[in-house]
């Protein structure tokens, strides 16, 4: 045995094999970290189980079952691209943000600071509007885009493409407004649409007493990485759904801070 070669039983392990195993393990960990806490994490674990089962079957020499699993995995690869399209996009965005160019201080001083300041002002406007809506005991759902594309949800509602304004948000969620039912989506610094339809969470872990608005907020946070603010019409309490988790009864003065921390988390 030498530093570049070692033998374990009937196996010969080279340094390239160790490097290969380390890189694959690191990649699998990063993928799991990216999808954990979402429905996609269960699909990912299921795929790992099927692949391990395929390796065992292949090692035992069960040719018919191996052939069936090979065809299944071939079709499954296309299905995975469809299922994980949001996660794949998020992963590529994460790689792009980690490059030396996008993290360059000189570059960010010209482009990043202006964008951050504008979003901070917008979040303050949204938080102020939510405070007033809660005080009036009007129900509301406000979806704020982070990285995932929300266009398919925007298309389900009434297109607005309007400047973010406290008065406009108060008008939308007024109980006599025709747009107060459904969700308002904020994307790319604009109020994209109102009266939008969101996916509703109906998993085993969802309490039966949870209202429809809160189920919709939770479902949207499971499907995308958007931040979803939901206000109860009965209690006037503000809740925040992030990455498949709903935090209830958030003090109105903390809402802007929590939104800012979450929406800027990957940029930092």
Domain borders along the chain are 5-97, 118-263
Give the angle subtended at the CA of 219 by the CAs of 216 and 223, to the nearest 5°. 135
pTM: 0.61
pLDDT at 102 over 50: no
What is the average pLDDT across 188-194?
92
Contacts of residue 182, Cβ cutoff 8 Å, sequence gap at least 6: 141, 157, 194, 195, 196, 197, 198
Contacts of residue 1, Cβ cutoff 8 Å, sequence gap at least 6: 7
Question: What percent of the chain lies above the pLDDT cut of 90?
Answer: 28
Rounded CA separation 219/246 (Å)? 10
What is the average pLDDT across 170-189?
90
Q: 């079709």: which residue's tokens?
A: 75
Average pLDDT, the chain: 80
Say which range, 21-25, 57-61, 71-75, has the weakest mean pLDDT. Answer: 71-75
CATH of domain 118-263: 3.40.1700.10
Q: Which residue has the higher pLDDT, 222 or 91?
A: 222
pLDDT at 62 over 50: yes
pLDDT at 83 over 80: no
Query: What pLDDT score was predicted for residue 186?
Result: 94
């Amino acid at each position: 045995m030498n530093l570049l070669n070692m033998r374990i039983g009937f196996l010969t392990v080279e340094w390239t094999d160790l490097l290969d195993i380390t890189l694959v393990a690191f990649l699998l960990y990063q993928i799991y970290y990216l999808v954990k806490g979402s429905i996609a994490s269960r699909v990912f674990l299921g795929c790992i189980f099927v692949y391990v089962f395929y390796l065992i079957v292949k090692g035992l020499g069960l040719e018919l079952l191996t052939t069936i699993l090979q065809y299944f995995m071939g079709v499954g690869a296309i299905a995975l691209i469809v299922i994980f399209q949001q996660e794949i996009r998020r992963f590529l965005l994460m790689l792009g943000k980690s490059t030396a160019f996008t993290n360059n201080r000189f570059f960010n001083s010209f482009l990043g600071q202006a964008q951050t300041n504008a979003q901070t002002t917008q979040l303050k406007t949204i938080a102020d509007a939510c405070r007033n809506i809660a005080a009036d005991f009007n129900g509301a759902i406000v979806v704020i885009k982070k990285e995932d594309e929300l266009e398919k949800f925007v298309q389900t509602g009434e297109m607005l493409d309007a400047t973010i304004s406290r008065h406009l948000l108060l008008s939308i969620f007024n109980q006599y407004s025709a747009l107060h039912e459904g969700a308002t989506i904020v994307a790319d610094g604009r109020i994209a649409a109102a009266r939008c339809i969101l996916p509703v969470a109906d998993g085993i872990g969802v309490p039966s007493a949870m209202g429809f608005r809160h189920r919709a907020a939770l479902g949207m946070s499971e499907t995308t990485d958007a931040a979803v603010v939901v206000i109860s019409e009965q209690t006037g309490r503000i809740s925040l759904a992030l990455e498949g988790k709903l935090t209830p009864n958030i003090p109105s003065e903390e809402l802007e801070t929590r939104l800012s921390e979450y929406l800027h988390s990957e940029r930092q």
